[in-house]
Amino acid sequence: MKYPKFLKEGNTIGIFAPSFGANIEPYKSRLESALSKFNILGYKTEIKGDIFGYFNGASSAKESRAQAFMDLYKDPNVDFIWSVGGGEWMMEIIPLINFEELKHYPPKFFMGYSDNTNLTFLMNTLLDTVSIYGQNVTEFGMNIWDKSLNDAFNIISGKTLRQDSFPLHEPNEVIQTDPLQSYTLTEKTVWKNLKGEKEIKLEGRLFGGCLDVLMIYPKTIFDKVEEFIQTYQKEGIIWFLEACDFNVFALKRALWQLKEIGWFNNVKGIIFGRPMSAKPILDLDQYQATLDILGDLNIPIIMDADIGHVQPTMTILSGAFAEIISKDGKGSITYKLK
């Protein structure tokens, strides 16, 4: 697995909008503020494409979005690539990206989450390169950074390789009056060991993303998960998964499909982020739905971790070797660069 160079002060951050552009509030104000903060911190920025644009449900035509990524990856003056935000149509650019050509260039980190799974996931399997499943650029526009954002910068700059769970998190629905306000942290964070284990300790290759996006890839020409699992079978795979729009029924169907096609072969454990929409329906909640499908794998499963759409979240080095500990409702992830 290739580890790109971490971000250093004075480096150039390449910024583009592979899915949605920041064309409405609060994202427009957040993006403008984030760009200003990056410059104050001593980073240069290189913008490709229309990051404030809107075109048929995305920032611009798929061809220009794909070209923006190719240009940033190939540009020797760009050190780190960062997504403006999530969205819905990032998959459109994937067939237009020449992954074979990119193999001939030095690896670079790409960072984003949600719809950005399209790239963070495929960079692991198609380029054998670690990517970063973490906060989009707009998150960094808030007036006072949450601790999770400071932690993120410490991770992406290589100052630390460990993150601990956060004591509080936002509710699933937040009323926001100021686009630059900090997170509304009102709910207690409790990592749940699904089978009641007192402590879970996992080591393996951490790999995954947003289930809403992952479900479009099985059995397509871009599905190289089986090969990835075989390559790293001695270390074993730890899946990290989280869901945005999926309700608990969709979550159960998704897990069933991925299990049946073999994506969970050689898995050492799974860590689920807090779901955005998987509230209980009738007598079925996310915990029982997960047990119904994955219980017979006889692996440790962690739920409600600080990953995904319910802030604050950890910054995940997707594809990296990691140690995960979950005990007493708290957790940590430590990366080993091997």
Q: How far apart are alpha carbons 22 and 16 in whole angstroms?
A: 10
Domain 12-141 fold: Rossmann fold (3.40.50)
Q: How far apart are alpha carbons 196 and 301 in whole angstroms?
A: 10
Contact status, residue 275 vs residue 286, Cβ threshold 8 Å: yes
Q: 137-183: per-residue pLDDT in tens?
A: 999 999 999 999 999 999 999 999 999 999 999 998 888 889 999 99
Q: How far apart are alpha carbons 139 and 105 in whole angstroms?
A: 29
Q: 219-266: per-residue pLDDT in tens?
A: 999 999 999 999 999 999 999 999 999 999 999 999 999 999 999 998
Q: How far apart are alpha carbons 113 and 83 in whole angstroms?
A: 8
- Residue entry with tokens 């149509």: 89
Contact status, residue 100 vs residue 221, Cβ threshold 8 Å: no
Helix (H) or strand (E) holding 68: helix 62-74
Dihedral of the alpha carbons of 260, 315, 155, 24, in degrees to the nearest 10: 130
Query: What are the E-state strand segments in the chain?
Result: 12-16, 44-47, 80-83, 109-112, 131-133, 162-164, 168-169, 187-188, 192-193, 199-210, 237-242, 267-273, 301-305, 316-318, 321-327, 330-336
pLDDT at position 242, please?
97
pTM: 0.96
Does residue 69 carry a pLDDT above 90?
yes
- Can you read off the two tokens belonging to residue 176? 């926001």
* Per-residue pLDDT band at 3 (split at 50, 70, 90): very high
* Per-residue pLDDT band at 338 (split at 50, 70, 90): confident
**Residue 95 to residues 71, 91, 128, Cα–Cα distance (Å):** 16, 8, 18
Q: Where are the domains of the chain?
A: 12-141, 168-336
Name the CATH superfamily, with its identifier, for domain 168-336: LD-carboxypeptidase A C-terminal domain-like (3.50.30.60)
Report DSSP letters for 192-208, one per residue.
EETT--SEEEEEEEEEE
